[in-house]
Amino acid sequence: MNDAPSWQLSESEVEFTAIRAQGAGGQNVNKVSSAVHLRFDINASSLPDAIKERLMALRDQRITADGVMVIKAQRTRSQDMNRADAMARLQELVNSVAVPPRARRATKPTYGSKQRRLEGKSQRSVTKASRGKVVGD
């Protein structure tokens, strides 16, 4: 598996709100609040500061300007399964930023890559030079 440190989130840091699901479902969808909104305040959480910063830096539409992650789960008809799905999606998002990105180390181009680039340029130059006007004798 991967060596990433998994930060286990507790349900005490998460607020669930039951809502009615959208889409097809017949009479059931109009009567039962089976969908779930999960609200997770990133700044008030017990996550390490580095993970909080990387979560806030994500360009994700589910994160509000106040730093609250809102996840809507409505895949199943069961509220409990939707709660579990929302928690799993939040945990997956936290795990994705748990490992800091590796810094890119600049390298020099190889001799062969320079030669191939120059060869391609010279071939292109010959092709374009042959497109000029024909000079008649």
* pLDDT attached to residue 101: 86
Q: For residue 1, with 0-12 CB atoms within 10 Å meaning exposed, 13-18 middle and 19 or more buried, which class applies? A: exposed
CATH fold label, 11-98:
Double Stranded RNA Binding Domain (3.30.160)
**In the predicted model, is pLDDT for residue 24 greater than 80?**
no
Biggest alpha carbon–alpha carbon distance for the chain: 90
Provide the token pair at 34: 């089976």
pLDDT for 90-107, tens place per residue? 999 999 888 888 999 999
Task: Parse the chain into domains and list their residue ranges.
Answer: 11-98
> 34-61, pLDDT tens digit by residue?
889 999 999 888 888 998 999 999 888 9
DSSP for 114-132, please give it. Answer: HHHHHHHHHHHHHHHHTTS
Q: Name the more confident of 7 and 91.
A: 91
